[in-house]
């Protein structure tokens, strides 16, 4: 992991620690080139989180946007899930 990513996750953890009490609801947002395998990957990553998925395809169906709502026990869970998604889905945009 490069320094920029480490800084991003460190800053996110600090922000989550300062602004939320735990456990807390958290909504992830991901955008990727449409590929049906990617939703299976996301569902596998979040299988233990009782996650709710909202999936939307772009007008031309080239891209897919996914919102994933979970109840997170702590910021580390949120960051670990972001890392798993980034590792397993090619060119995903994490919002």
HSE-CB for 92 with a 13 A CA cutoff: 23
- What CATH number has the domain spanning 3-94? 3.30.70.260
pLDDT tens-digit series, residues 43-66: 999 999 889 999 999 999 999 999
Cβ atoms within 10 Å, residue 19: 9
Domain ranges for the chain: 3-94
CA-nearest of 68, 75, 70 to 54 is 68
pTM of the model as a whole = 0.89
Q: Is 91 left (phi over 0), alpha (psi -120 to 50) or beta?
A: left
What's the confidence (pLDDT) of residue 6?
A: 80
């Amino acid at each position: 992991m490069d320094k920029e990513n480490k800084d991003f996750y460190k800053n996110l953890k600090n922000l989550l620690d300062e602004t939320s009490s735990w456990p807390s609801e958290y909504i992830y947002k991901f955008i990727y080139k449409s590929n049906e395998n990617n939703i299976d990957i996301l569902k596998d990553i979040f299988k233990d989180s009782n996650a709710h998925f909202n999936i939307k395809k772009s007008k031309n169906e080239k891209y897919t946007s996914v919102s994933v709502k979970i109840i997170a026990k702590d910021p580390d869970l949120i960051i670990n899930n972001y890392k798993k998604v980034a590792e397993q889905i090619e060119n995903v945009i994490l919002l």
